[in-house]
Amino acid sequence: MFEKEREELIEHLIRWGYLRKPEVIKAFKNVPRHEFVPENVGDYSYADQPLSIGHGQTISAPSMIAIMMESLDFACGQKVLEIGAGSGYNAALTAEIVGEKGKVITIERVAELAGFAKSNLERTGYGRVKVVVGDGTRGYKKEAPWDRILVTACAPNLPKPLTEQLKIEGKLGAPVGQHYMFQTWTVVEKLDGGKLKIQEHGGCSFVPLIGEYGWKKED
């Protein structure tokens, strides 16, 4: 189902330079995005646009997801924490790259969405991803430190517990900025000695990261 649409989307993302690394391209090929979106928007699964997943939340546009995935240098065997499970699509792409030797845990604050992500992941063969309901701005200390942390909602600042839970040489990607505007996709690398190297990768637009180390409410 949707094979032609998926192929065309991937070709478009490669042509415009969003998709580059073979392992990221392979993950886009193998993970069926249409299995992660609600039925009412299923026909738009392979359009390059964000889609509503209910509860005021979205699955990001494929080009934005490509930017996120490319910027974090995911590799086989890594331990990855995602904040904002949403539909589970990002977590599935990540699980595809880190493989069975790696580990992916994704945290979602909206319990209904955590359930949606879990059932999508199980149905598509990524049941090994652990979905946790909670405030991801606190990280997930009991399994820290992390090789990679992927934040998929926008924080006003980099949440301190997340940078603390990153391994030396680990990388964290997050949208940082204001409510729905002036946001920047930001990649942080923890250097030897714990110093943070911060790189900005261009503008983006995400829903707010709500929690103790994020925004205090929806709007």
Give the residue numbers annotated as catalytic, written as ranges. Answer: 60
Burial (Cβ within 10 Å: 0-12, 13-18, ≥19) of residue 100: exposed
Interface with ligand SAM includes 162 (CB under 6 A)? Answer: no
Minimum Å gap between C-beta 88 and ligand SAM is 6
Q: For residues 16 and 9, give the distance between their C-alpha atoms in angstroms, rounded to a whole number.
A: 11
Interface with ligand SAM includes 177 (CB under 6 A)? Answer: no
Among 64, 72, 105, 110, binds ligand SAM (CB under 6 A): 110
Interface with ligand SAM includes 94 (CB under 6 A)? Answer: no
Among 78, 94, 124, 152, binds ligand SAM (CB under 6 A): 152
Among 23, 48, 135, 189, binds ligand SAM (CB under 6 A): 135
Tell me the torsion sign for CA atoms 30, 51, 202, 158. negative
Minimum Å gap between C-beta 4 and ligand SAM is 23
Q: Enumerate long-range contacts of 190-193, CB under 8 Å, 24 or more apart.
A: 190/163, 190/166, 192/168
How many beta carbons lie within 10 A of that of residue 172, not counting itself? 25
Q: What are phi and psi of 36, to 5 degrees?
A: -115, 5
Of residues 107 and 188, the one with the C-beta less far from ligand SAM: 107
Interface with ligand SAM includes 206 (CB under 6 A)? Answer: yes
Burial (Cβ within 10 Å: 0-12, 13-18, ≥19) of residue 132: middle
CB 166 within 8 A of CB 142: no
Would you give the binding string for ligand SAM spanning residues 73-92, x where CB under 6 A is met? ----------xx-xx-xx--
Region of 24-32, 40-48, 163-171, 207-215 interacting with ligand SAM (CB under 6 A):
207-215
Of residues 13 and 194, the one with the C-beta less far from ligand SAM: 13
CB 46 within 8 A of CB 9: yes
Q: For residues 20 and 32, give the distance between their C-alpha atoms in angstroms, rounded to a whole number.
A: 19
Task: Provide the binding-site residues for ligand SAM, judged by CB under 6 A.
Answer: 57-60, 83-84, 86-87, 89-90, 107-110, 113, 135-137, 152-153, 206-207, 209-211, 214
